[in-house]
Amino acid sequence: MKKFVVALILVFLFPTAVAAQTSTTEVAPIPTPQEVVGPSAEEIKAEIEEDVQQIEIRPSGEAIEVEYQTSEGPQPVRSLTLPAENRKIVDVEVQALPTTGTRPVSLEQTPQGKIEVKESNISATTSLPVKVSEQKIAVEVKDTEETIILPSQAVKTIIEVEPVDSEEPRATILDVELLECKAKEGPEPPDCKVIYKIETEEKNELLGLIPIKSKLSYEVDATDGDLLVTKKPWYLRFLSFLFV
């Protein structure tokens, strides 16, 4: 009885202390781990521009994967999402095979997520991985690397590239794509592995009097520049003698 009375007195005189002794011990919250933030796309691009010795670019949806090597050795594979206002990845010097001279080439990402191989007046788009090493440009086809010629060299196979400021060029380049060479009908595998598909609009004159615009399509072997396929309207195939 005495113990009960003492307990009541303690609760009456020191309610806070008693409540603290009887309450559940609070557990300190576990700190949230801090997210490790890697370099930005602009920082990676600046590093590539300053000291790139080899670079491979792979389309990956809206982003691109970049694997490159600097003077310090191979760098980690980076995934880049480039802003719409600046889709250039890197400027490089590439050999215009089979010569030893080089030409400036810009590698950019298109809004569709493809890679654009861009020269001063001609460019080609591709969904294939593109690699530049030792001033040579190559694409990856079925786990093999194929060294290729430049887009302007492929176009020159079919028509002489007109100056940009030419008032009346004979042909206008509509589109240039770098594609894997698909097997044709028949049991034989294709001789080519990668092609440039070039679509043009060309001007002719019927009987030398009536101007005609025609759309043509060409396939050029991207490894050696050989013309493989020419597709033209029926009237240019069967009545070519009427056009100049």
* Whether the predicted model's global pTM rises above the 0.85 cut: no
- Eight-class DSSP state of 84: T
Section 17-44 average pLDDT? 55
Q: Are 108 and 118 in contact (CB under 8 A)?
A: yes
Give me the chain's average pLDDT, please.
76
**pLDDT at 244 exceeding the cut of 70:** no
Kindly report, residue by residue over 31-87, the tens digit of the pLDDT.
554 444 556 667 777 777 777 778 888 887 777 888 888 888 888 888 877 777 778
Kindly report, residue by residue over 212-229, the tens digit of the pLDDT.
788 889 999 998 888 888
Least confident piece of the model among 73-77, 171-175, 185-189, 194-198: 185-189
Distances in Å between the Cα of 11 and the Cα atoms of 25, 42, 206 are: 20, 67, 112
pLDDT at 35: 45
Which of 183, 126, 176, 121 shows the shortest CA–CA distance to 154? 176
Q: Are 195 and 205 in contact (CB under 8 A)?
A: no
Q: Cis (ω within 30 of 0) for the bond into 98?
A: yes
Q: Can you state the percent helix, strand and coil of the chain, rounding each to 5?
A: 20, 40, 40
Tokens 């409540």 sit on residue: 19
